[in-house]
């Protein structure tokens, strides 16, 4: 099963993608996580990506596409994958289609997690990420057992650099301009599925399972 998660930054794509990956036993591929791991490890790609990420801009397509297409060649992708944060532009979607068509495959579902901009600003302000394992929490909606410490690995929690309010506003306008057109793109392909992302995370997930099947 090949799934794409669509939605504004902070809509809950990562939260849902992790649950989908666990239930359907497929890898969760997050381009944002891949870039953050590169930044943490001090790679050249990480340094290039950080310049854009810190400003709330998209990393150029040429730095993203090959990286994702190469990732599909790993053995854990045999049964499919859930893509979180890719594609984010029409050229990325076209590159994905081309790569899949070449091997006789295609995307099965593009799930759009719908959340209005006002809720997004609220969500991003409360998001916390673990420096150790990258797990995501929210100070109100998904708090850790011990404040400031990851439930999974005990690592310290931080506010992502790009979750500061000025950057979030930029990211939202970039989303509306460059990523939202993908909703029409996948609607035209007949594989879009819309879910209400404003309800409790478990209810969002139940709606997704209703679409993907048990």
- Closest distance between ligand AMP and the C-beta of residue 57, in Å? 6
Provide the 3-class DSSP secondary structure of residue 41. coil
- Token code pair at residue 209: 């399972």
Asked whether position 171 contacts ligand ADP by CB under 6 A, the answer is: no
For residue 168, give the nearest of 109, 110, 127 by alpha carbon: 127
140 Cβ contact partners less than 8 Å away, ≥ 6 residues apart: 126
Q: Is 160 a catalytic residue?
A: yes
- Please report, as residue ranges, which positions from 1 to 20 form the binding site for ligand AMP (by CB under 6 A): 9
Choice among 160, 169, 189, 202 that is catalytic: 160
- Closest distance between ligand AMP and the C-beta of residue 86, in Å? 4
CA dihedral 170, 174, 175, 181 (to 10 degrees): 160
Choice among 2, 36, 123, 127 that is catalytic: 127
- Closest distance between ligand AMP and the C-beta of residue 54, in Å? 8
Among 52, 69, 164, 193, binds ligand AMP (CB under 6 A): 52
Among 1, 24, 80, 141, binds ligand ADP (CB under 6 A): 141
* CA–CA distance, 157 with 134 (Å, rounded to integer): 9
Asked whether position 136 contacts ligand ADP by CB under 6 A, the answer is: yes
* CA–CA distance, 187 with 138 (Å, rounded to integer): 31
Q: Is 23 a catalytic residue?
A: no
Among 72, 81, 86, 205, binds ligand AMP (CB under 6 A): 86
Handedness of CA 12, 17, 30, 191 (dihedral sign): negative
Q: Which is nearer to ligand AMP, 75 or 208 (CB)?
A: 208
Among 8, 11, 29, 53, binds ligand AMP (CB under 6 A): 53
Q: Which is nearer to ligand ADP, 67 or 130 (CB)?
A: 130
Helices of type H across the chain: 13-24, 31-40, 44-53, 61-71, 90-102, 117-126, 165-174, 181-188, 201-212
| Catalytically active residues, by annotation | 13, 88, 127, 160, 171
């Amino acid at each position: 099963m090949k799934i794409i998660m669509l939605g504004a930054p902070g809509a809950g794509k990562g939260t849902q993608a992790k649950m989908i990956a666990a239930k359907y036993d497929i890898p969760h591929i997050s381009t944002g996580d891949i870039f953050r791991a590169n930044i943490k490890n001090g790679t050249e790609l990480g340094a290039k990506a950080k310049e854009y990420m810190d400003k709330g801009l998209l990393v150029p397509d040429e730095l993203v596409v090959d990286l994702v297409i190469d990732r599909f060649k790993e053995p854990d992708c045999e049964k499919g994958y859930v893509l979180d944060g890719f594609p984010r532009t029409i050229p990325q979607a076209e590159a994905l289609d081309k790569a899949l068509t070449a091997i006789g495959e295609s995307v099965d579902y593009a799930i759009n997690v719908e959340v209005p901009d006002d809720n997004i600003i609220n969500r991003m302000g409360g998001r916390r990420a673990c420096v150790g394992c990258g797990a995501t929490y929210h100070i109100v909606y998904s708090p850790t057992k011990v404040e400031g410490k990851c439930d999974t690995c005990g690592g310290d929690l931080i506010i992502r650099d790009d979750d500061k309010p000025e950057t979030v506003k930029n990211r939202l306008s970039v989303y509306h301009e460059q990523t939202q057109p993908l909703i029409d793109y996948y609607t035209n392909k007949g594989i879009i599925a819309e879910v209400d992302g404003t309800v409790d995370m478990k209810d969002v997930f139940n709606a997704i399972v209703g679409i993907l099947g048990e």
